[in-house]
Amino acid sequence: MRRTDRLFDIIQTLRVAAGPMTAATLAEQLEVNVRTVYRDIATLQARRIPIEGAAGIGYVLRRGFDLPPLMFTADEIDAISVGARLVRRLRDPGLQDAADSVLAKITTILPDALRAGVASAPFYVSDGSARAPEGIDLSDVRHAIRETRKLRITYADASGQSSNRTIWPIAMAYYVDVTLIGAWCELREDYRHFRVERIVSSTLLQDRFSTDGGRLTQGWLAHRELTSDK
């Protein structure tokens, strides 16, 4: 573990501790020796981190202290870089713009030594093969899920036959080759899964639906593995 990561972990551990923690306990959790913990505590105190205590008694972090808004390990930066690039294959312009914005914000705030790990990370993600939807704005779908609002869609099945549906969108499933909307379909009075590229048109309605205390989602999860509506 890098020393900067270890210092961060000490702060985080003391933040959530119910009482004073001895150097021995911290050393066991961090898998280092006690002398290393003493040195790390001294370093943090020298940096004005309000850690109080003494050897043999234990250490506490003074209440009210908070960390800077962004402190990442190298692996966390890699995860952010790869994750943001994976979003680009989802054919969801709203999420793509958001991912680019996240990368830009993090690149601006990180120290120079870590900035290159985001801006020019050596990670490459394939574009995937999902078709871009033309009849629906996926931002509307995500909004409908958050706000429990119904959607009115015209949907074409695999044979090209169209039907008008009012659906209660519950979840979205992003695959490499397809994006699905998991929903309750009023027409079929059952759960259905809709391929977004088969949606001919859509309207976000003002009408809301009830999740029935979470039972709607539980029923959908138990219904079957995600498949497209036939």
Give the tens place of pLDDT for each residue, 181-196.
Answer: 999 999 999 999 999 9
State yes or no: pLDDT of 144 exceeds 80: yes
Q: How much is the pLDDT for 224?
A: 66
Strand duo 58-61 + 179-185: pairing: unpaired
Q: How much is the pLDDT for 167?
A: 98
Mean pLDDT score, 120-133: 80
Mean pLDDT score, 23-47: 92
State yes or no: pLDDT of 230 exceeds 70: no
pLDDT higher at 89 or 111:
89
State yes or no: pLDDT of 59 exceeds 70: yes
- Give pLDDT tens digits for 149-179: 999 999 999 899 999 999 999 999 888 889 9
Percent of the chain, pLDDT > 90?
46
